[in-house]
Amino acid sequence: MWPQLRCGWWKPMADLTFPQLSSGALVQYPIRKSNGLRSIKNILADGTMLVAADPGGGKLAWNLSYVDLLPEDIGALRSHFSNCAGPLRGFTFLDPADNLLAYSADLTAPSWNVPPGVTIQSGMPDPSGGSAAFLVTNGAAAAQQIAQTVAAPVSYQYCFSVYAFMASAGSVSLTRSSGNDLQSQTFAVGAAWARIVSSGRLNDTGTGLSAAITMEAGQSVLLYGPQLEPQHAPSRFRPTYSRAGIYPNSHWAVQELIVTAEAPNLFSTSFAIETTIPD
């Protein structure tokens, strides 16, 4: 067993983000995610109990376990724990069980950047048999895109996906970009729902990743379920609204990071991350 890493003196450090593994995954499965709510109780002199919800007392917690970690991965976790001074300093945690895009279920919300000439109609048939898809029409004379920028580290491995349908065969492009790098991929789309997927890393540092869907001039396309995840391949669609899977004030929920050597250059550890649920 490695020696226990104790919290050192706090040092100011900018843009602390929970590290991604060298494999491109953020965590190993299974994980356990819990949502805790808090109530306030007041017992009066006559024994009457008044109970009310505490809107600022809710917490999310992730219990994570790792096995067969390489030295560089366990080193990244140890370094992050030290930089945070254990549970003292907050950091950004990307929820591996959620969608990083806000309002993924509403393309008309202000979180999406929709340029002039592009119209969006809601209540359209979706691939699950409901009416949660959107008809997006590019009435401009040039290609246009709808996009959203999230406060996530640019250099991580991401998977961006969306379901698309076009009455007449055409193409749709998915783009992941930052200020200094861009990756775009074009997909053929026809009269059958298909989930198109763009996956990879950008050669850039910093924070602020943009995910965009591009349509050619005059095109109309049905879109459903845009999703951004910090991994290689898409999971099932998770609809989001004002709250998405990015938590900028997360904390280690352990005082010590304990690491076990399982074999030469293979290590295991387990711990918890928690964050206050925004109002």
What is the fold of 118-229? Answer: Jelly Rolls (2.60.120)
For 171-193, letters b (16+ CB in 10 Å) and e give bbbbbbbbeeeebeeebebeeeb
Q: Please tell me the distance from the alpha carbon of residue 250 to that of residue 248, in angstroms, as a whole number.
A: 6
* pLDDT over 60 (residue 14): no
Spatial contact of 100 and 228, defined as CB atoms under 8 Å apart: yes
Residue scoring higher pLDDT (38 or 231): 231
Q: What is the pLDDT of residues 205-258, one digit of tens each?
A: 889 999 999 999 999 999 999 999 999 999 999 999 999 999 999 999 999 999
* pLDDT over 60 (residue 192): yes
Q: What is the pLDDT of residues 39-65, one digit of tens each?
A: 677 887 887 887 776 666 678 999 999
- Residue spans of the domains in the chain: they are 32-95+246-276, 118-229
User: Which residues face 119 on adjacent strands?
Assistant: 137
For 138-168, letters b (16+ CB in 10 Å) and e give beeeeebbbebebebbbbbbbbbbbbbbbee
Residue scoring higher pLDDT (32 or 54): 32
Strand ranges (E), 83-239: 91-94, 118-124, 133-138, 144-153, 158-165, 170-177, 182-189, 194-200, 207-215, 220-229
Six token digits for residue 72: 């560089």
pLDDT of residue 277: 80
What's the one-letter identity of residue 233? Answer: A
Q: How confident is the model at residue 4 (pLDDT cuts 50, 70, 90)?
A: very low
pLDDT of residue 41: 78
pLDDT of residue 45: 80
